[in-house]
């Protein structure tokens, strides 16, 4: 029978506006209330926290995540998670290659790490995007493969006051295979996502339920367009906001090592999977669990609205593919 583990947390910030390493805790074991609150507090402040030299398997990663809330099913578009761990979403380019028929040698620029490799906040096409995500390293390349996060609260605070007031009032549609530039492409990705649509309208600025902070809630991967404006105006607004949220001073870049675990607040961050492995033949495998999230609320008190699909909870969003 396991016992609750007490620990002596130390927090080491990694960048000026986002990211900190947490030491002095074994997250493979049940944690006491003070340790859990210490991790939550560090997450509120630094938006993404990292643990080194951990020894997790699927079961202990799931158990760690459940101490912070209920977990989702693996992913809306993953119908083959581990049979004994349906909460686990495996990030492995070989799975995407098998699913969508991508030939890595003929398409070196399409070596996506998982379903997407662009800047994004996880699963925002759902009406209740995950509150947080926990990602652990399994198989790593000998070099490269870093992940980068950006602080969406800092991005909002970097806007001038008149622009803040303007974007406070806006809402946007989020969907898989978003097309914010109006340059519609094709391929198996788009066909799958159009056949199994998951779409939500979210406030462009959401209020964090724990801290009360305002954060930009848009990303190039999933935000399709701003509602109630012209296509040209939508592109102009989104391009400006994307430029702001990707400013280097709001970011932290994390180098994965064996035993590394990243835990990020999905309500206050966006992240970018590696883009430096396209030309090398290295395998990179990580495993993720996500915390069920609440419906976002904007500065005006309005909640997000479901357009297509169902909320993202413990059960699959879509029936398994034949």
- Annotated catalytic, 288? yes
- Annotated catalytic, 120? yes
Among the listed residues 17, 136, 175, 271, the single catalytic one is 271
Look at strands 20-23 and 48-51 and give their pairing.
parallel
Distances (CA, A) of 100 to 51, 110, 189: 33, 11, 7
Distances (CA, A) of 296 to 208, 215, 221: 8, 11, 18
- Annotated catalytic, 32? no
- Annotated catalytic, 302? no
Among the listed residues 17, 75, 111, 120, the single catalytic one is 120
Among the listed residues 122, 171, 175, 202, the single catalytic one is 122
Q: Which residues are catalytic?
A: 120, 122, 271, 288
């Amino acid at each position: 029978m396991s016992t609750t583990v007490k620990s002596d947390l130390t927090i080491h910030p990694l960048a000026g506006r986002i990211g900190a390493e947490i030491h002095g805790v074994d997250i493979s074991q049940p944690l006491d209330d003070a340790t859990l609150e210490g991790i939550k507090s560090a997450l509120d402040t630094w938006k993404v926290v990292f643990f080194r030299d951990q020894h997790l398997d699927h079961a202990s990663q799931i158990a760690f995540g459940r101490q912070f809330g209920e977990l989702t099913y693996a992913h809306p578009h993953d119908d083959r998670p581990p049979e004994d761990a349906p909460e686990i979403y495996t990030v492995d380019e070989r799975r995407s290659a098998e699913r969508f028929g991508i030939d890595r040698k003929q398409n070196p620029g399409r070596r996506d790490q998982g379903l997407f490799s662009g800047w994004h906040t996880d699963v925002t096409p759902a009406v209740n995007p995950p509150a947080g995500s926990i990602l652990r390293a399994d198989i790593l390349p000998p070099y490269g493969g870093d992940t980068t996060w950006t602080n969406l609260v800092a991005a909002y605070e970097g806007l001038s006051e008149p622009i803040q007031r303007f974007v406070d009032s806006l809402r946007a549609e989020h969907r898989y295979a978003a097309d914010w530039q109006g340059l519609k492409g094709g391929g198996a990705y788009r066909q799958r996502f159009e056949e199994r649509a998951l779409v939500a309208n979210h406030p462009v600025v959401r209020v964090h339920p724990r801290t009360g902070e305002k954060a930009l809630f848009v990303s190039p991967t999933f935000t399709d367009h701003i509602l109630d404006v012209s296509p040209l105006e939508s592109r102009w607004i989104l391009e400006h906001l994307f430029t702001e949220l990707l400013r280097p001073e709001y970011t932290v870049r994390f180098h994965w090592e064996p035993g590394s675990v990243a835990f990020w607040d999905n309500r206050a961050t966006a992240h970018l999977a590696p883009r430096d492995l396209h030309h090398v033949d290295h395998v990179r495998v990580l495993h993720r669990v996500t915390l069920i999230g609440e419906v976002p609320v904007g500065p005006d008190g309005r909640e997000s609205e479901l357009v297509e699909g169902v909320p993202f909870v413990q059960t699959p969003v879509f029936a398994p593919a034949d």
